[in-house]
Chain A
Amino acid sequence: MNLPTSLRAWEERIRDSAKKHGLVCFDTIFEMVSEEQLDEIAAYGGFPTRYPHWRHGMEFERLRKHSRWGLSRIYELVINNDPCYAYLLSSNSFTVNKLVMAHVYGHCDFFKNNAWFQHSDRKMMDRMANHAVKVRRIIDRQGVDAVETFLDRALSLENLLDYRQLGEATPPLRQFTPPQGGEDDSESTEPNFRLRSRDYMDEFINPPEWMEKKRQRHAAEVEAERKLPGGPRRDIMALFLERAPLARWEWDLLHIVHDEALYFAPQRVTKIMNEGWASYWHRRLMVDDILTDDEVVDYADTVAGTLVEGRSLNPYKLGLELLLDIEERWNKGQHGIEWERCDDYAKKSTWDTREGRGLDEMFRVRRIHNDVTFLDTYLTEDFCDRQKLFVWRRDQRTGKREKVSTDFRAVKETLLQSIVNGGAPVIEAVDLNHGNRGELLLEHRHHGKDLRPDFADATLLNIAALWRRPVVLLSQLEEKPVRWIAADGAVRMEEVIHA
Chain B
Amino acid sequence: MIGPIEKDQRRFRQIVHGTIRRDLKRYVSSGDLIGGGERGAVSIPVPQIDLPHFTFGSGDGVGRGDGEGDESQPGEAGEDEGQHILEVEVGLDELAKILGEELELPDIRPRGEASITAEHQRWSGIRRVGPESLRHFKRTYREALKRQIAAGLYDPAKPVIIPVRDDRRYRSSQVRRKPESRAVIIHMMDVSGSMGTEQKEIVRIEAFWIDTWLRHQYKSIETVYIVHDAVAREVSQHDFYHLRESGGTKISSAYQLCLEVMKSRFGSGEWNIYPFHFSDGDNWSSKDTSTCVDMLRSEVLPRCNLFCYGQVRSAYGSGQFKRDLDQSLPGEERLVTSAIADREGILASIRDFLGKGR
Produce 1/0 per residue, A116-157, CB < 8 A to B.
000000000000000000000000000000001000100110
CB-based contact B5/A313 at 8 Å: no
Given A424-B53, A451-B55, does the pair A52, B4 have CB atoms closer than 8 Å?
yes
Distance of A447 Cα from B91 Cα, bound (Å)? 46
Quick check: is A363 within 8 A (CB to CB) of the other chain?
no
> Shortest CB–CB separation between residue A267 and chain B, in angstroms?
15
Q: Which of A22-30, A297-305, A336-344, A396-404 contacts B (4 or more CB under 8 A)?
A: A396-404
Closest to B79 in A: A312
Produce 1/0 per residue, A429-470, CB < 8 A to B.
000000000000000100001111111111100100000000
CB-based contact B5/A57 at 8 Å: yes
Distance of A452 Cα from B61 Cα, bound (Å)? 16
Quick check: is A306 within 8 A (CB to CB) of the other chain?
no
Quick check: is A324 within 8 A (CB to CB) of the other chain?
no
> Shortest CB–CB separation between residue A44 and chain B, in angstroms?
7
Quick check: is B52 within 8 A (CB to CB) of the other chain?
yes
CB-based contact A459/B52 at 8 Å: yes
CB-based contact B65/A393 at 8 Å: no
CB-based contact A403/B69 at 8 Å: yes
CB-based contact B54/A387 at 8 Å: no
Distance of A246 Cα from B71 Cα, bound (Å)? 50
Q: What count of chain A residues pass the 8 Å CB interface test? A: 63
Given A40-B3, A58-B49, does the pair A389, B64 have CB atoms closer than 8 Å?
yes
Given A43-B5, A61-B9, A402-B70, does the pair A390, B54 have CB atoms closer than 8 Å?
no
> Shortest CB–CB separation between residue B59 and chain A, in angstroms?
4
Partner of A425, one of B49, B55, B77: B55
Task: Give the chain A neighbours of B50 by CB distance below 8 A.
Answer: 58
Quick check: is B72 within 8 A (CB to CB) of the other chain?
yes
Given A392-B62, A394-B60, A458-B52, does the pair A401, B10 have CB atoms closer than 8 Å?
no
Distance of A422 Cα from B53 Cα, bound (Å)? 13
CB-based contact B69/A311 at 8 Å: yes
Distance of A43 Cα from B14 Cα, bound (Å)? 18
Given A388-B64, A390-B64, A414-B61, does the pair A53, B55 have CB atoms closer than 8 Å?
no
Partner of A57, one of B11, B51, B61: B11
Chain B residues with CB under 8 Å of chain A are 3-5, 7-15, 48-66, 68-73, 76-77, 79, 82, 86
Given contact pairs A317-B64, A404-B60, enumerate 18 new A-B contacts (beta carbons under 8 Å).
A43-B8, A52-B4, A54-B8, A54-B15, A56-B5, A57-B12, A312-B63, A388-B64, A388-B65, A392-B61, A392-B62, A394-B59, A400-B72, A403-B63, A425-B55, A456-B54, A457-B52, A459-B52
A-B contact pairs, 18 of them (CB 8 A): A57-B7, A57-B9, A58-B50, A160-B54, A310-B76, A317-B64, A390-B69, A392-B60, A394-B60, A401-B70, A404-B60, A404-B69, A418-B61, A424-B55, A451-B54, A451-B57, A454-B48, A455-B82
